[in-house]
Amino acid sequence: MTQARIIDGKAFAAGLRARIGEDVAKLKALHRIQPGLAVVLVGEDPASQIYVKSKGEQTEAAGMRSETHRLPANTSQAELIQLVSKLNADKDIHGILVQLPLPGHLDSAPVIAAIHPDKDVDGLTVTNAGRLASGLPGLVSCTPAGCLMLIKDVVGDLSGKTAVVVGRSNLMGKPMAQLLLQADCTVTIAHSRTKDLPAVCRQADILVAAAGRAEMVRSDWIKPGAVVIDVGITRLPSRDPDAAAAGKTRIVGDVAFEEALEVAGAITPVPGGVGPMTIACLLDNTLIAARRLAGLEP
Ligand code: GUN
């Protein structure tokens, strides 16, 4: 049997960023608007620091205004909400992202609720979740939006396809399911309590794995020819014991990639699949937010 097509998320994201860069230049030239993104990072979580740095660099590379607000780990809920309110009122800022997870003493729900829905480029507010569920224009969470672009690129018309999303987070699983439903798929949201998860996954023409469990999806969970989208990112010790002893690590997804290659029709690698799409879609959302806030699109 032929091996699965490997979906090149890195190349797709580069193309998307180039298109966004051109649209940003047009918005500046025609309307004197420069889209602005503010990212808020509380504390010193190492993975979050890497993501936030990368978001800032890519925002600037697209010609947008980038602000990174780094707050100490002991920032209070009131201080954080005060910053969000200030950014809501800032005319030069069109997108606000509060990097998650927040330090343990902070409650993310009221912080997210404080973000103006039209600047909520994470699509996390109740208003944007409701807009998505109701089929109204809003801002859609970046990772599922990026996954849908990759899926559409491979599959074309999704109408009537069976889709299974493993994971039910507000940031990923739930919006992913809504997007697939809107594209006329028959959608199942599976999770850690789902009975016979392998059998449920085997039904899927499109399988999105976003459970956060390293290499959980094995080859016998995959319908032959299925499109497999791997959203997982787990850092494990290197396979080579000497390298592992020296602290070297490797990144794996939620899918056992090598064996899945033998069964799937197409599959995203980790890294280089879904990951690069997330920031590209964040830039896209910031551009959309800037155009909408200026009344240039509904
Ligand atoms: N932490 C990891 N991914 C994300 C994301 O997409 N948005 C936010 N706000 N925090 C994250």
- 170 and 247, same domain (yes or no): yes
What is the residue range of 238's domain? 142-277
Contact 3, 261 (CB under 8 A): yes
151 and 226 together in one domain: yes
- Looking at residue 32, its pLDDT comes to 98
Whether 265 and 227 share a structural domain: yes
Same domain membership, residue 93 and residue 217: no
Å from CA of 196 to ligand 1 middle: 30
Same domain for 160 and 273, yes or no, is yes
The single residue listed with the structure tokens 């993104």 is: 37
Q: What is the pLDDT of residue 1?
A: 66
User: Is the CB of 165 inside a 6 Å radius of any atom of ligand 1?
Assistant: no
State the total domains in the chain.
2
Q: What is the mean pLDDT of each run of 10 residues along the chain (298 residues)?
A: 93 98 98 98 96 97 98 98 98 98 98 98 98 98 98 98 98 98 98 97 98 98 98 95 95 98 98 97 98 95
pTM of the model: 0.97
Q: How many angstroms separate the CA atoms of 147 and 30, rounded?
A: 31
**Token representation of residue 159:** 């109408």
pLDDT at 298: 87
Nearest residue to 207 via CA among 182, 184, 183, 190: 190
Cβ distance 75 to 106 under 8 Å? yes
Helices marked H in 32-156 — which ranges? 46-61, 77-89, 108-114, 126-134, 142-155
Q: For ligand 1, pick from 171, 282, 285 the residue to mutate: most ligand atoms within 8 Å of CB.
A: 171
Within a domain: 246: yes
Supply the DSSP symbol for 119: G
Whether 202 contacts 221, CB under 8 Å: yes
Please work out whether the CB of residue 100 comes within 6 Å of at least one atom of ligand 1.
Answer: yes
Q: What is the CATH number of the domain that holds 74?
A: 3.40.50.10860
User: Which residue, of 85, 118, 151, is where some domain finishes?
Assistant: 118
What's the CATH code of the domain at 254? Answer: 3.40.50.720
Quote the pLDDT of residue 2. Answer: 87
44 φ, ψ (degrees, to nearest 5) = -125, 30
